[in-house]
Amino acid sequence: MSETASSPRWISGIAPPTELLTANGTQILEFECRQQPERLHEIISAYSKDEEIRTELKSLRNLARTKGPVMFIGMGGSLCSAISGSIMLQSHGRSSFSVDAGEWLHYGSSDWQDAAASILLTTSGESAELVELLKRMGGERQGLICNNTASPCWKLAHHKLPILAGPEYGNATKSYTNATAASIILASEMLSYHWESDAMRALEVFAGSLDRVFGMREQMEEFWRGAANTEVIGRGSAYGAAIMGALTIREMSGHRAAPHTGAGFKHGPNLDVDASHLAVIFALGRVAGLGVKLAQECNRRGGKVILVSSENHEGSDQLLPVKMDAVPEPWESITSILVAQALTLGIIEKIGCRLPPRFQYGVMEQ
C-alpha cells in the first residue's frame, strides 16, 4: 500500500498514544528515560528465555568460532551501544572492533570477508547506510540488532535480534540502553559466558539509582551553569556512554558537548582546561583510578568536574561527585548514562529543549 496522509509511517509502525502527541521534548525525554528499567528487564528476560532469540544467539555464537574478528557496526547512538559488545569480547581475548557504519560502507568493503561475523546495530532499521550494507554484504555471516521488526534492515538480515525498547520519540534513551544490553549479551554468548547474574545486577543498580540521580538534576544544572565547554569522558565500555551522553546534551539543548576517551582527553584537550570547562568523567570499571586522577588534574587547571564513581568522594565548588554502585564490566555503559540524562533534563528544563519529538520516520538518505 502506498503512503498517504491517512497512513503515516509511525516510529516502529505503532501509532503513539494521544497524550504523547501533545507532549514537548522535555516531557518526552523524561517519560522515555523512566521507561528504561522496565524495558531493560524485558530484554534480559527475553534473551534468557525466548526460544527464537536463543536460537539466533546460538547461530551467532557458532559464527564467532570461525577465523577473523567480530565486527560491531552502527552510527550515532547505535555505535555507542556497539562499543560495549566489542569491549566485552576484547576483554576476554577475542578479537573484535566497533566501527562507524558510514565509514565501513565506503572504506571498509575490502575487509568485509575477513570478519568472522558482522553485527549491524540500528534502532530504526531504516538508516540508508545500514540498509546498503546489508544489501552488499549478504550471506550468513551477518547479524542485526534492531528495534523495528517491520524495517528494511530486518527484512534483509539473515540473523536478527530485537532491541525490544518499544517506540522512541525523542533522544536515544531506552533504545541505547537495550541495544547496549543486547550487544553485551550477544558478546557474552559468543564467549559462552554466563551473563544472567551480571545483567540482573546491572538492572538492580540502574533501577535503584534512577530516582536518586534524576533528583540531582537541578543541582547538576546549577553546577554546570556558565560552562562554555562540556566534555564527557569514559574508558572501555563507558566511552560508549560518553559519546551517547555528549549526543544527548547536544541534541536536546544545543549546548556544545564533546566525548573523549580518558587517554585521548589527557593527551590533548586537557591542555586547554580552564574555568570555562565542565567535564563529566565516568571513573568506573578496572581503570576507575585513572578517571579520578584526571578529575583532580582538571580541578587543578580550574575546571569543574561531575565525577561518576562507585567510591565516595568529597564535593567542592569544583567537584560534584555522583556515586554509582559498581556493576560487572562492561555493564557500566548502561548505569553511567543516567548521569548524562539527568544533566540534560536539568539543562533543558532551565533553557528549553531544542529537539522536538519525532513520531514518524522521515526520509533516510546518506
The dotted CATH code for 12-193 is 3.40.50.10490
pTM metric for this prediction: 0.94
Distance of alpha carbon 284 from alpha carbon 295, whole angstroms:
13
Domain 209-351 has CATH 3.40.50.12160: no
Nearest CA among 36, 19, 51, 337 for reference residue 166: 36
The DSSP 8-state label assigned to residue 360 in this structure reads B
pLDDT for res 230: 96
pLDDT for res 11: 73
Q: Which amino acid belongs to residue 274?
A: D
Taking the chain (366 residues) in consecutive chunks of 10 residues, what is each chunk's mean pLDDT?
56 76 89 97 98 97 94 95 98 96 90 91 93 86 93 94 93 96 98 98 98 98 95 97 97 95 92 94 96 97 97 97 97 98 97 81 68
pLDDT for res 362: 67
Q: Where are the domains of the chain?
A: 12-193, 209-351
The DSSP 8-state label assigned to residue 124 in this structure reads S
pLDDT for res 7: 64
Q: Where are the beta strands (DSSP E) in 148-215?
A: 159-162
Distance of alpha carbon 228 from alpha carbon 19, whole angstroms:
36
SS3 of 357, please?
coil
